[in-house]
Chain A
Amino acid sequence: MAGTLGVIDYEITEIRSRSVREQAQGALDSLGLRRAEGRRGGSGSSARTPGDLLLIVGDLSRFARGSGLDRIAAAPPWVSYVLLVRTQQDRRLLGEPDVALQLNERLQVLDLTAAGPSPPSALPDHLRALVERLRPDRVRAARFAPADGVLWLEFGDGVDRAVRWAALSFAPRTGFCPVSAAAREHGHSVLLVDRAGDELTVDSAVLRAEVDATFRDELDHTDAQRRAEAGARLRKVRQARGLSRQDLAARSGIPQETLSRLETGRRDPRPDTLRKLAAGLGIAVAELLEELSVTSVSASAAVGTGDRRRG
């Protein structure tokens, strides 16, 4: 959910098609990625460290003819590539052994010509999905060794960790004894299965936080921000009705201290608290949730999910 740990830089290099170049640029900018300052060698930024990622987008044919493949071989392990195939000549290159042999997860080919004209969203969608998989709070691979009770995890940014199941802070409370583990599609969670075939899904961010103190701090910070945003909206709903905190406390039966904690993002409202809040405001719970929501259903198709319905 947080996932801003580590920096993902990008380079767009030698893409002949202006429209494809612009699609790539627009998609990467919209994802909040930073354009790499370094130009050559795949490690241009001196500040880059493991956990940071460099994503290079370019034409397959130009990489194959020039020094691109050497760059891949020499690049640090956190570099990921997307290479575009757009011409008949490029497609023939795919059959060349020296290129095909290097088609691994660090060298990806997106064939924009294989099935006729591609929709304009093909490249942005591919880049978005790729960047999602590279995040530190995604698990790309997981295994469980039942003999020693060790869970092995490889995260999206290449960091891998082995941790004893019993040492995970939440494990005792689950009462769960896994015998196998696997990363789920999209890497959002890990699926654990016990001997009886019961399943437990564990959020990938929770797992990263268990093995990475820096990430845990960042996750706490991000979650606090989200609570604060929700609390601010709750305060606006109250103020829009001309009610003081004291008024609402009296009308809802919720202690003022609890209201304060809710509005300042120090706790999440429970369902019964929402019911009391709605009653105190003289509205239905569904109406309260609608007022707290950042978007309306009817507007979402046109404006996307990040836009606010009200100011």
Chain B
Amino acid sequence: MRTCSAIAAAPPEVGLLSAFRAHCGSVQIEIHDVDHGPPHCQVSGLPGGGSGTVDLLTLQVRPPGLMLPVAVRRCLCERQQDMLAAWGDVVGWGRGE
């Protein structure tokens, strides 16, 4: 896992990210170290073995129709700002407009 300071100079189209990992029961929520915008996280281990992505700003889920348990959605809401910050720190956000 990389530190934010080590990989902070990424262009906006492909971010190099400090990995964010959290668990909500058997469901894993994760931001990859190297990923592409817009800000999103992966969710895996959903009931039935499903997985997908969640937009960090709108919490829109892909693929459409993928069901997230209420507890997972609550966790995403609670950690939304943390995850945006984790994404933003590494791609150089938070340093003015």
Contacts and interface: CB of A to CB of B under 8 A. Distances in A.
A237 B38 CA distance: 20
A269 interface: yes
A109 interface: no
B23 interface: no
A170 B49 CA distance: 31
B50 A132 contact: yes
Size band of the B side of the interface?
Answer: 35 or more
Nearest to B48: A125
Interface stretch (A34-42, A86-94, A143-151, A292-300): A292-300
Given A206-B35, A271-B85, A301-B69, A292 B57 contact: yes
B82 to A, nearest CB: 10
Interface in B28-43: 30, 32-40, 42
Interface string B3-41: 000110110111010010000000000101111111110
Contacts of A285: 81
Contacts of B50: 125, 128-129, 132
Given A1-B36, A297-B77, A304 B7 contact: no
Nearest to A124: B48
7 contacts: A32-B63, A128-B48, A173-B7, A174-B2, A274-B84, A301-B69, A306-B61
Given A173-B10, A269-B57, A294-B59, 18 more contacts: A128-B50, A188-B32, A189-B32, A198-B2, A200-B2, A200-B33, A206-B36, A230-B58, A255-B97, A267-B12, A272-B94, A289-B81, A293-B59, A293-B77, A298-B70, A305-B60, A305-B65, A306-B65
